Amino acid sequence: MEEAGHGSFSGTWKILVFLPLLALAAAALWLLFRARTEEYSGREPAAAPLFRETRPESPAARERPKYLTALDIQGPPEFKSQVTGALKLIWMADRDTFLFIRNRLYSIRNESKTDFYMDAGGHPVAAISSAHALRSMPWCAGIIAHQAYHAHVRLSTKKKKAFTPPPPGLEKQLRVAANPMIHEKVSLPELFEREKRASEFQLRIMEGTGASRSELRLVRDRDPRDFSTGHDGNYSPE
């Protein structure tokens, strides 16, 4: 009786050992059969969509190819390359912020000064010196944002001063500035406040595009009367 019991236990142990192997073999056969079936039916394997972008493209993504050709960048090749790279950094960091900047600047030009102005055609222009543009790509991105904020303020002020037609029966002469590049008159406190807000916007862009700690510190800790982190050269603040 003892030998019979021992033989029964040994047989059970052998079955338990082979059960996982049988399960693995069955799973492998099932996967092979499924792959062959999909191959013969003309369908792609189920794992294929993991390597393809199947989501619909967002409206912001559809605008991506347009910005480099729509924005006028003027200057030598190294300047154009640096500005293009800075714009790409802004795009990757925050597309909404990029579109804000893009919609407020018509041209980015390499000049002997860094400032914002309206050109003779009434277009908002960000003038950037080589010193500011070529310092680093994140710094260049911050400078572009700084001038875009000034453009935003100027364009907003321009809308508020739009011509209002006179009531019927009355004449009102429309006066247009002879020089669209003329700077508006701004009080000193307002000038400092605008520069503060432009620098805050500049700092946020620099943080998002990977500026160094030393560059961030220069903008963050600047003296309110120090405009050198956003302007340089022969310029007149707006």
Report pLDDT digits (tens) over 19-64. Answer: 666 677 777 776 666 655 554 444 443 333 322 333 444 554 444 4
Sign of the alpha-carbon dihedral angle for 108, 113, 115, 119: negative
Q: Tell me: the pLDDT tens digits for 175-193?
A: 434 334 445 667 888 989 9
- pLDDT over 90 for what percent of the chain? 49
Contacts of 111 (CB under 8 A, 6+ apart): 127, 128, 129, 233
Residue that wins the pLDDT comparison between 224 and 6:
224
User: Rounded CA gap, 73 and 109, in Å?
Assistant: 6
Query: Is 90 exceeded by the pLDDT of residue 170?
Result: no
How many angstroms separate the CA atoms of 141 and 137, rounded? 6
> Do 73 and 107 touch, CB atoms closer than 8 A?
yes
The arithmetic mean of pLDDT across residues 200-225, rounded, is 95
Mean pLDDT of 69-95: 92
Of 60, 57, 101, give the one whose Cα is nearest residue 202: 101
